[in-house]
Amino acid sequence: MTNPSPASQVRAFALVPAAGVGERSGADRPKQYVEVAGRPLMAHTLAALQAVEALSATLVVLSPADEHFEAALPEFQGERAWLSRSGGATRAATVAAGLEALLAQGAAEQDWVLVHDAARCLLRPAWVEQLIAACRGDAVGGLLALPLADTLKESSQGRARTTLDRRGKWAAQTPQMFRIGLLREALSQAGAAVTDEASAIEALGLEPLLVEASLENFKVTWPADFALAERLLRSR
């Protein structure tokens, strides 16, 4: 990798991996296309990202077999709306393919990429701007996260076996913001098992910055999450 360019010359891109089907959601289609508050779940996510002026473009990475996107989100278009049907079988593979697509579109290895879950549909532009401001001058990058407030239990066959110390523990969220070249290297070494980008960066011996976020920035995962997201979006 080359040395980072001056901050004034470095761009930032959003990357939304959306090649999965969300099996735990119980939905009859990929969960990113389930309607929440009158729009497909992912439409809320992309609207928030596209409202961030500091982002040069937002790239959505779909499965090659995706047949829903254009009909579900016809408003996603323009110079800052990019699409790639190169997603893989895992999140890591999809993000890695998205990084290659960004580079093919003219992004540089020194540019920043903010990887965000399609299913975190309550994202607010101000949270993205907060992350960018915190990480622009950082040597590693970082992620939105939330200090754990609940007591943690380790389970065994459905029973609490022991209580874990929650001090210093955070729940990782997205976006997660790293240099394209650094994240590309990290994912190539970490393999497909990583569940977020920060863990791949950590495997290189680096320590991503934790930027405190909101509990509202949760990932729609389980069937009951759709109703909660609906109520929160309609309350705005």
Q: What is the pLDDT of residues 100-144, one digit of tens each?
A: 999 999 999 999 999 999 999 999 999 999 999 999 999 999 999
pLDDT tens sequence across 18-64: 997 655 555 567 899 999 999 999 999 999 999 999 999 999 999 99
| Spatial separation of the C-alpha atoms in residues 180 and 198, rounded to whole Å | 13
At position 118, the amino acid (one-letter code) is A
Instruction: Please report, for the chain, the start and end positions of each structural domain, with discontinuous segments joined by +.
Output: 8-235
Cα–Cα distance for residue pair 32/19, rounded to 1 Å: 9
Contact of 18 with 61, CB cutoff 8 Å: yes
- Residue % of the chain over a pLDDT of 90: 89
Between CA 167 and CA 8 the distance in angstroms is: 38
Task: Give the closest residue to 220 by CA, choosing from 48, 41, 10.
Answer: 41
**pLDDT of 6 above 90:** no
Give the model's confidence band at 2: pLDDT under 50 very low, under 70 low, under 90 confident, else very high. very low
Beta bridge partner(s), residue 40: 35
**60: amino acid identity, one letter:** V
- CA 131 to CA 16: how far, in whole Å? 16
How many CB atoms are located within 10 Å of the residue 212 CB? Answer: 13
Could you tell me the two tokens for 142? Answer: 């970082």
Q: Which of 206, 212, 97, 92 shows the shortest CA–CA distance to 141?
A: 206
Of 148-152, 162-166, 183-187, the range with the highest mean pLDDT is: 183-187
Structural contact between residues 221 and 25, judged by C-beta atoms closer than 8 angstroms: yes
The DSSP secondary-structure symbol of 170 reads: E
Q: How far apart (Å, rounded) are the C-alpha atoms in residues 98 and 187?
A: 12
Within the chain, strands assigned E span 12-18, 35-36, 39-40, 57-62, 81-84, 112-115, 141-147, 152-156, 159-164, 170-179, 209-212
Q: What is the rounded average pLDDT for all residues in the chain?
A: 93
Question: Is 82 strand, coil or helix?
Answer: strand
> What residues pair up with 172 in beta bridges, in sequence order?
145
8-235 CATH pick, 3.90.550.10, 3.20.20.150, 3.30.43.10, 3.40.190.10: 3.90.550.10
Given this model, what pLDDT does residue 28 score?
A: 67
Can you say whether the dihedral through the CA atoms of 212, 217, 223, 224 is positive or negative? positive
Q: Looking at residues 167-189, what average pLDDT do you find?
A: 97
